[in-house]
Structure 1
């Protein structure tokens, strides 16, 4: 049988695509739900709050996303409960109770609170895009379509919008648009260095630079729209990996808490070990330094070299700098000799 860490890796590999698909479906729903006419009217009045309201950034759009995270939490909790070490000389049946009040509090943090954070990010990104559009003197129609995306020929949903991007990503799109619209050859050339651009547009950009001409607003909309789609794909991948990992780690911690309660042993008997997961091409040095570090007790936090306190890898308390796309893992065990002299 595969090791427990391997089983959790398999679980993550199975669930991450579902979380990503649910996130992308939520963004498509939000973009298609924008009231374009009402949005334009409010932009014409420079009613910023009213424009944000017209975007209909409703948390309910993430219902399927939350449901998949709930399933992830439950599956991870059940897997962990079936692998809690047995006390010596006993036979304890460990079952994960997702309806336990403490588990419900954790799952709210994993689902509802995370969706609230995502919606707030959407609002902030939209607000920044609108203000940028006002400063550039862009027509309300174009600002509205930049936000919601455009429906191309033969398509039934909007693509290329700002909704769904993180704050920094919205800034990258705004920067690309400003450079392309500037007509300044030096500024336009900087677009050719943006790593997630669609290189199929490079020839048109290079020609405009050589000819000393501006690109049309429609061409700029196509180029930035495609760039936005690529950034959204990156964010969906990041969200899927991060949120799935958070749900799994939180469920494992909660499952162990429930199981320990059936053994009669105190939480101090638990030993938790941080396992560095490799980190892909850019592993976090601080997480490499944490590899193999142990803490005694179920509620004792890990203290990272920068002073950050985390209950486990992918603990939201670590923020994006420690959680985004983190692949670290956790080993939990029970020292059943605890308290013996």
Structure 2
């Protein structure tokens, strides 16, 4: 006997399908950037004091993120197809079934994809440039030689994988600052600062014994060891960022495609906004937002926004323009319902 999946179950299947692909696409883009980095060229420019030239030599091009664009496009289209497939059969006044299809070339759909991808990639590249510039200027100001400064930014090539590891390429500017602060803590030799490092949740705990020994013996950690520790810490933060982007972009694409899928039918006149409602569905997780818990079950009309307790208007979870405090890490969704009696009467 076939069991009909609930809207949440279907949504979770879509997330499991597209989230890993978007996460992997981001990592692929960063690997592509680092694979073309030639350390010598960066060092040469830093020796001349040319920080801008050093950044240009890293080729932080938006074109490197085309795999991420494509992964988001596939999630968006997959969500759109699923949306129209879930719509119960609509019929005209003569009882004939109305054909509904997802139109990926619809103007609204194309505009969302273009604007969303452009803002995402441009934001990533610009934030990356800020992080790298800050790190290069700080390293040189600290008195580090150009080679050490450049290596701290781009990482070292692993003899095992052949890929660059450590460094801050791919990290958000705030994460790059975390790495810089962690390095200062580890090099300080100060027991209090070393203990601060041990409070970092994304650290590589395999080094904890060495750090505890340094605290106990009152001896500073060797610089090469600090490089290894911060390198692993940076890799962990890069994984975190990939996970965050994978989750956020998947939910954004699926949420937008569902909303646009309904709008497409309304533009054709086969469905009317006043006959569709949206219900906020909270997804319990370890660190659930209290505001979203309170929004569970909130029902609004199709063209009305959900209202968060703090007054934030949310068209649907992960909608464009909604503050990050309501989107990052959020796994809520909106379930749409067509009121057939009213639709048929009309």
> What is the TM-score of this pair, normalised by structure 2?
0.91
2:35–2:164 CA contact under 8 A, matched in 1: yes
Cα offset for 1:91? 1.4
Query: 1:61-72 residue pairs with structure 2 within 5 A?
Result: 61-72=64-75
In the TM superposition, what is the alpha-carbon distance from 1:181 to its structure 2 partner?
1.4
Alignment pair present for 1:291 and 2:296: yes
Give how far 1:266 is off.
Answer: 3.6
Q: Does 1:328 align with 2:338?
A: no
**Offset from partner CA, 1:164-214 (integer Å, 9 cap, x none):** 112221121111101111222322232122221112112222233333332
Partner residue of 1:252 out of 255, 258, 264:
258
Q: How many residues align?
A: 339
Matches within 5 A, 1:220-235: 220-235=226-241
The equivalent of 1:78 in structure 2 is 81
Q: 2:265 touches 2:271 (CA, 8 Å); kept in 1?
A: no
Alignment match of 1:12 (pick from 3, 11, 15)? 15
> What do residues 231-264 of structure 1 show as CA deviations (whole Å, max 9, x unaligned)?
1111111111111111111111111111223344
Q: 1:135 to 1:189 in 2, by over 3 A?
A: farther
Range 205-214 or range 52-61, more displaced: 205-214
Residues 82-121 of structure 1: pairs in structure 2 closer than 5 A: 82-87=85-90, 89-121=95-127
SS at structure 2 position matched to 1:215:
coil
* Larger mean Cα displacement after TM superposition, 218-227 or 269-278: 269-278
CA RMSD between the two structures: 2.1
Aligned position for 2:170: 164
CA shift digits 1:4-58 (9 cap, x unpaired): 2211111111211111111111111112222322222232333333232222111
Distance between the aligned counterparts of 2:289 and 2:134, measured in 1?
A: 30
Q: How far apart are the structure 1 equivalents of 2:266 and 2:87?
A: 9
CA–CA separation in structure 1 for the residues paired with 2:123 and 2:183: 27
- Cα displacement (A) at 1:339: 11
Match of 2:249 in 1: 243
2:63 to 60, 65, 68: 60
Q: Secondary structure at 1:112's aligned position in 2? A: helix
Local SS of the residue matching 1:57: coil
Distance in 2, matches of 1:307 and 1:43, equals 49
Which secondary structure state, in structure 1, belongs to the residue aligned with residue 165 of structure 2? Answer: coil
- Please say if residues 17 and 240 of structure 1, whose CA atoms lie closer than 8 Å, have aligned partners that are also in contact: yes
Q: Give the distance between the partners of 1:318 and 1:48, measured in 2 at CA.
A: 36
Measure, in 2, the Cα distance between the counterparts of 1:134 and 1:41: 13
1:159 to partner: Cα distance: 0.7
Instruction: Measure how far apart 1:118 and its partner are.
Output: 1.8
TM, length-normalised to structure 1: 0.92
3-state DSSP of counterpart to 1:164: coil
Q: Quick one: which of 23, 26, 45 aligns to 1:23?
A: 26
Q: Does 1:48 align with 2:76?
A: no
- Residues 90 and 97 in structure 2, CA contact (< 8 A), matched pair in contact too: yes
Alpha carbons 1:84, 1:259 under 8 Å: kept: no
Task: State whether structure 2 residue 207 is matched by structure 1 residue 204.
Answer: no
2: CA distance, partners of 1:85 / 1:263 = 16
- Farther off after superposition, 145-154 or 240-249: 145-154
Q: Report if the CA contact (8 A) 2:29-2:64 is conserved.
A: yes
Once structures 1 and 2 are overlaid, which stretch shifts more, 142-151 or 244-253? 142-151
Q: How does 1:148-187 map to 2 (within 5 A)?
A: 148-187=154-193
- Cα distance, 1:265 vs. partner? 4.2
Greater CA drift, 98-107 or 179-188: 179-188
- Offset from partner CA, 1:270-299 (integer Å, 9 cap, x none): 211111111x2110111112211122133x
Structure 1: where are the runs of 5+ without partners?
none
Q: Deviations over 1:212-234 (max 9, x none)?
A: 33222211110000011111111
